[in-house]
Structure 1
Amino acid sequence: MRDPLEDPRWRARLAENRAGARAPSTPVLLYHAAFDELIPYTTGRKLRDRYCGLGATVQWKTIPLAEHIVGVAVGGPIAMEWLGARFAGKPAGNSC
């Protein structure tokens, strides 16, 4: 059985959808736990910086003194509030 990840067509689709490859056309909220043990904090900051460099509107939140699971628990309500404000027509903040 062939590995689908080795198919050039699949690899092309993955490359097109790589986070940070192009600026999102809508505002973005990024949040990251400062002590995330699964996805390093610097990875999140680099994505933020990349989007900012591409001219995107990015609101950045650090979840202090938290690791991955606590970051999800704390960040979820922040994200829901942020989305609610967008649907209410309020402008997004920009941390860039």
Structure 2
Amino acid sequence: MARQRLGERGPGLPVLLSHSVLDDVVPHRAGERLAADWCRLGVTVEFTINHIPTHVAARTGTSAEGVPWLADRFAGKAAPSTC
């Protein structure tokens, strides 16, 4: 179980991690900690913050930034980092 804890191992690809400060399921601090953990492990992380209320509704904001982010990766553009 410990090996599966998010933040213990980093993904092998760049990550866009977006988190709402108004998330009613996962505390915003948990998203900040995950981004910091992955940065510490050398992962390229772009951590963005939004203010969309509720965990489910925040998906809309994340999708709006996620699609262009993925398009840039497929186009061979370097992933931005907020580490």
TM-score normalized with structure 2 length: 0.88
Question: Gaps spanning 5+ residues in structure 1: where?
Answer: 1-13
Whole-Å separation in 2 of the counterparts to 1:72 and 1:41: 14
Question: Gaps spanning 5+ residues in structure 2: where?
Answer: none
Candidates 28, 36, 41, aligned match of 1:54: 41
Q: CA RMSD in A?
A: 1.4
Match of 2:82 in 1: 95
Higher helix share: 1
Pairwise mapping of residues 1-96 of structure 1 onto structure 2 (< 5 A)? Answer: 14-96=1-83
Q: CA deviation at 1:39?
A: 0.5
Aligned residues: 83
Runs (4+) of structure 1 exceeding 6 A deviation are: none
Q: Aligned partner of 1:40: which letter?
A: P
Q: CA deviation at 1:23?
A: 2.0
Q: CA deviation at 1:65?
A: 4.8
Contact 1:27–1:57 at 8 Å: present in 2 too?
Answer: yes
**Structure label with greater radius of gyration:** 1
- Greater relative contact order: 1 or 2 (C-alpha under 8 angstroms, separation 6 or more)? 2
